[in-house]
Amino acid sequence: MKKSSLFTTLALVAVFGIVLVAIVSSIMNKPPAAESAWVEAMTMGPKDSKKHYIMYTDIMCPYCDVFTRVVMNNEENFEKFLDENHILFEIRMTNALSYSGSAYSTAAAESAYCAAYENKFWEFYHGAIQALWDDYHSKGIGDSKTSPKIENLPEDYWSTIAHRVGLGDSFDTCLSTEASKNDVEKFTVEASRVATGYPYFVFGRQTYSGLPSLDLNSWAGLESFLKTGL
């Protein structure tokens, strides 16, 4: 082999080695998923995890609520799955449905952010999902695109749920002054650049628009869905 060819080969090998080291170093030193979370109070799981599962949602989205109800019914197994697989699960709340005619989406989203500011997002969010199920979805109202729409939602619907989970005057002030409005608008715009439908899931490198064709009425079905991102 000519010296020039040998030097060229060695140079290419050296460059390849440097690139490989950089890639490995980048993977090994990847920052915790919590650092890229929109609102840390809307996360669940190990804060130092580098695995990141995201759900883009709107409280008034009936298909989103299906997933969340299954999580709520299997909360202990869900939290154990996150811990054992070192996953940070994040809700990215929007009022996306307000742009397609949902009259209550914006107030619901603003309430969720007000609850998050006081580190009570999960209590409020799960309380809201349960209330919607008890009051409407279980009766076939607003539980699909073809079902009768939810109408005449009481003005104090979200604050009643908030008070039920321990939120008080600070929450009421946040909601009445629209203190979370800017965050709701900003994050809904951000979500629109990613989500092609709701719910929209990002499980690591896997993405899903809408609910998967899996049995989500049991822990086994939910676990099977969650494992697709491992």
pLDDT at 4: 54
Alpha carbons 120 and 97: distance in angstroms, whole number = 23
Is the per-residue pLDDT at 76 higher than 90?
A: yes
Mean pLDDT across 210-230: 89
Residue 153 is assigned to a structural domain of this protein: yes
Asked if pLDDT for residue 24 goes beyond 80, the answer is no
For 52, the domain range is 33-227
Q: Are 69 and 131 in contact (CB under 8 A)?
A: no
Largest CA distance in the chain: 84
Which residue is associated with the tokens 């440097």?
18
11 lies in a domain?
A: no
Q: Give the pLDDT band of residue 15 (cuts 50, 70, 90).
A: very low
User: Which among 150, 157, 155 has a CA at the least distance from the CA of 131?
Assistant: 157
112-123 as b/e, with b when 16 or more CB fall inside 10 Å?
A: bbbbbbbebbbb
Question: Is residue 18 assigned to a domain?
Answer: no
179 inside domain: yes
Helix ranges (DSSP H) in 118-192: 121-135, 157-164, 169-176, 181-192
CATH number of the domain to which 215 belongs: 3.40.30.10
d(CA 221, CA 230): 15
Residues in the chain: 230
In the chain, the number of structural domains is: 1
What percentage of the chain carries pLDDT values higher than 70? Answer: 87
pLDDT tens digit string along 92-112? Answer: 999 999 998 888 999 999 999
User: How much is the pLDDT for 1?
Assistant: 54
Q: Is residue 24 part of a domain?
A: no
Distance CA 167, CA 114 (A): 10
- pTM: predicted TM-score of the whole model, two decimal places: 0.85
pLDDT band at residue 26, thresholds of 50, 70 and 90? Answer: very low
Report CA torsion sign: 114, 116, 122, 125. positive
Is 5 within the bounds of a domain?
Answer: no
Bridge-based pairing state of the strands 206-209 and 87-93: unpaired
Q: List phi, psi (to 5°) of 87.
A: -120, 135
Mean pLDDT of the chain: 88
Cα–Cα distances (Å) from 191 to 30, 92, 153, 230, in that order, read: 23, 8, 26, 23
Map residue 68 onto helix, strand or coil. Answer: helix
Place of tokens 């909601």: 175
The per-residue pLDDT for range 142-180, each reduced to its tens digit, is 998 899 999 999 999 999 999 999 999 999 999 999 999
Q: Does residue 25 register a pLDDT over 50?
A: no
Residue 7 is assigned to a structural domain of this protein = no
22 lies in some domain: no
Q: For residue 64, give the nearest of 97, 20, 41, 113 by alpha carbon.
A: 97
Given a cut of 60, whether residue 68 has pLDDT beyond it is yes
